[in-house]
C-alpha cells in the first residue's frame, strides 16, 4: 500500500479500512505514542532534576545562615 493511499483514507461510518491499512495506521499511532511518552518522561525527569538542584541550593543557604 502506498503512502498516498494510506494518507487519503478517512474513517467513516460506511467505509472500513482494509486489514493492511488498519495495521499501518495502528503501527504509526503506536510509534507516535512511544515518542510522545518518551518526550514527556524525559521532560518530567529534567524538571525533577532542576527542582532538586534548586531545593538543594535553598537548603544550603538556610544551613549557611544558621551555622
* pLDDT tens by residue, 17-30: 889 988 999 999 99
Burial per residue of 18-57, b for 16 or more beta-carbon CB atoms within 10 angstroms, e otherwise: eeeeeebeeeeeeeeeeeeeeeeeeeeeeeeeeeeeeeee
For the segment 4-61, what is each residue's pLDDT rounded down to a tens digit?
Answer: 777 777 777 788 888 998 899 999 999 999 999 999 999 999 999 999 999 999 999 9
* Whole-structure pTM value: 0.64
In the predicted model, is pLDDT for residue 64 greater than 90?
Answer: no
Instruction: Enumerate the domain spans of the chain.
Output: 3-66
Amino acid at each position: 500500500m502506498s503512502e498516498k493511499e494510506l494518507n487519503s483514507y478517512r474513517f467513516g461510518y460506511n467505509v472500513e479500512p482494509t486489514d493492511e491499512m488498519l495495521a499501518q495506521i495502528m503501527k504509526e499511532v503506536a510509534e507516535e505514542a512511544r515518542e510522545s511518552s518518551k518526550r514527556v518522561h524525559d521532560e518530567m525527569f529534567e524538571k525533577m532534576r532542576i527542582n532538586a538542584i534548586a531545593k538543594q541550593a535553598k537548603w544550603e543557604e538556610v544551613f549557611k545562615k544558621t551555622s
